[in-house]
Structure 1
Amino acid sequence: MIKPLQIGITGGIGAGKSTVCKIFNVLGIPTYDADSRAKALMTTDGILMEGIKKEFGTLSFKTSGELNREYLATEVFSDEQKLKKLNSLVHPRVGLDYENWLKEQIGAPYVLKEAALLIESGSYKTLDYLLLVTAPEHERIERVLARDKHRNREQVKEIIKNQLSETEKITLADFIINNDGNHSLLEQVLKLHDQFLRTSKREQ
């Protein structure tokens, strides 16, 4: 079986990568949302669940089987080393889940793998190309504040500060979509769509 061309898509918080993915979806391109799948796997993947319990204790899960997000937020997310450990448990299971999903995408010319930490996790290296969605920081902050009512401006700035800088991401990206409001997202996506289709045909 010929694997479809694999395009990684990433961007900092509020850059608009989910919006870009929706346009690709309308064009019929399958998208694997790694962040959503990671959340799902933390309560459905037995191996991952056991790993989390072993590392962070049985309080990591509620008696209902749901993830105890309040406990993890206090115990893990506020501790950089513990967060790295959690990611080291989650990323391999997401990688395996993605490979199984990829096998089902028979006939697709190319697929998208969307993830916020695509670069940080190193998983972009296993893909054919990396697409970065970028936007000015002030635009990103306003978008997140409009979307996430539970966050304030300082919290969003802190998240941006802790993410890999735009400059570093740009140096690694093969393609860039500028979502600053002055460039048409649709035109940029259509142009890349045509390019990915042509590349896919050449590689088959």
Structure 2
Amino acid sequence: MGAVLKVGLTGGIGSGKSEVSARLRAHGAMIIDADRIAREVVEPGTPGLAAVAAEFGEEILRPDGSLDREKLASIVFSDADRRAALNAIVHPLVGERVAELMEAAPEDAVVVYDVPLLVENDLAGMYDVVVVVDAPVETQIRRLVERRGMTEEEARARIAAQATREQRRALAHHVIDNSGSLDELHAQVDALWDELVRRAHTAPAG
């Protein structure tokens, strides 16, 4: 007998969190990617997109009827009230979708929430286990420059806007060190998976 184990997975930009998430998914974890769900709930034809267009005007739609994310981002980025209005539409829809996915999870499932801003938004208390993917800042910068085409200045600015490594590590139950090779990363994730499964099977059903 077990219970669903809720795991919060986070890490700074360029830390390699998506690689860890993919490895956990391959093991059988149920991945809930809040960013991806936030995109899904405003796809063409959804009530979410209709509500966003009603709030922000038709100019935030592309000619094909999809959401012009860049234009919407430019509106809400510098205006806290408009950002709050957008969140008031999107967050409940994301919450409903996450609840549906959780409802469908078998007991003793390991559910991994991919939450980029877990530390920044003070969400650690929502999870049974917090896993932090950690990499040295210089490694993060190199990955962002090489893989995402950022300048070094852009990469440093993005990293500086997030929580520090120390803040993340302070909240972690498990730290995955992604400063080495892919094989070393996979070995750590595999060991973590074994422990998560053990916990899910022994946790009291609630």
Give the TM-score band, short-chain normalised. Answer: 0.7 to 0.9
The Cα of 1:122 is off from its aligned counterpart by 4.2
The Cα of 1:34 is off from its aligned counterpart by 1.5
Q: Is the 8 A contact 1:145 1:153 kept in 2?
A: yes
Tell me how far apart the structure 2 counterparts of residues 161 and 56 of structure 1 sit (CA, whole Å).
Answer: 30
The Cα of 1:17 is off from its aligned counterpart by 0.6
- Per the alignment, residue 37 of structure 2 pairs with 37
Query: Is the partner of 1:113 in helix, strand or coil?
Result: strand
- Per the alignment, residue 153 of structure 2 pairs with 154
Matched, 1:68 2:73: no
Could you say what the CA RMSD is over the residues aligned between the two structures, in angstroms?
2.6
Aligned residue pairs: how many?
203
Tell me how far apart the structure 2 counterparts of residues 181 and 201 of structure 1 sit (CA, whole Å).
Answer: 31
Tell me how far apart the structure 1 counterparts of residues 51 and 171 of structure 2 sit (CA, whole Å).
Answer: 32
Tell me how far apart the structure 1 counterparts of residues 29 and 96 of structure 2 sit (CA, whole Å).
Answer: 21
> Could you list the per-position Cα deviations for residues 9-55 of structure 1 after superposition, in whole angstroms to 9, with x for gaps in the alignment?
01111001110111112212221121112112122584533443354
Q: Is the 8 A contact 2:42 2:49 kept in 1?
A: yes
Q: Is the 8 A contact 1:6 1:128 kept in 2?
A: yes
Q: Is the 8 A contact 1:134 1:179 kept in 2?
A: yes
- Per the alignment, residue 181 of structure 1 pairs with 180
The within-5 A match list for 1:161-172 is 161-172=160-171
Matched, 1:77 2:77: yes
Tell me how far apart the structure 1 counterparts of residues 61 and 32 of structure 2 sit (CA, whole Å).
Answer: 26
Q: Is the 8 A contact 2:108 2:200 kept in 1?
A: no
Pick which of 31-40 and 76-85 moved more: 76-85
Tell me how far apart the structure 1 counterparts of residues 148 and 80 of structure 2 sit (CA, whole Å).
Answer: 23
Q: Is the 8 A contact 2:3 2:201 kept in 1?
A: no
**Amino acid in the other structure paired with 1:175:** H
Tell me how far apart the structure 2 counterparts of residues 176 and 70 of structure 1 sit (CA, whole Å).
Answer: 34
Tell me how far apart the structure 2 counterparts of residues 16 and 114 of structure 1 sit (CA, whole Å).
Answer: 12
- Per the alignment, residue 135 of structure 1 pairs with 135
TM-score when scaled to structure 2?
A: 0.84
Q: Is the 8 A contact 1:30 1:108 kept in 2?
A: no
What percent of counterpart residues are identical? Answer: 30
- Going from structure 1 to structure 2, the CA distance change for 1:24 and 1:198 (only over 3 Å counts) comes to same
Matched, 1:27 2:22: no
- Going from structure 1 to structure 2, the CA distance change for 1:4 and 1:116 (only over 3 Å counts) comes to same
Question: Can you give the 5+ residue segments of structure 1 that lack an aligned partner in the other structure?
Answer: none
The Cα of 1:88 is off from its aligned counterpart by 4.8
Q: Is the 8 A contact 1:134 1:176 kept in 2?
A: yes
**Amino acid in the other structure paired with 1:198:** R
Q: Is the 8 A contact 1:43 1:65 kept in 2?
A: no
The Cα of 1:203 is off from its aligned counterpart by 1.1
Question: Can you give the 5+ residue segments of structure 2 that lack an aligned partner in the other structure?
Answer: none
Q: Is the 8 A contact 1:91 1:121 kept in 2?
A: no
The Cα of 1:110 is off from its aligned counterpart by 1.0
- Going from structure 1 to structure 2, the CA distance change for 1:11 and 1:85 (only over 3 Å counts) comes to farther
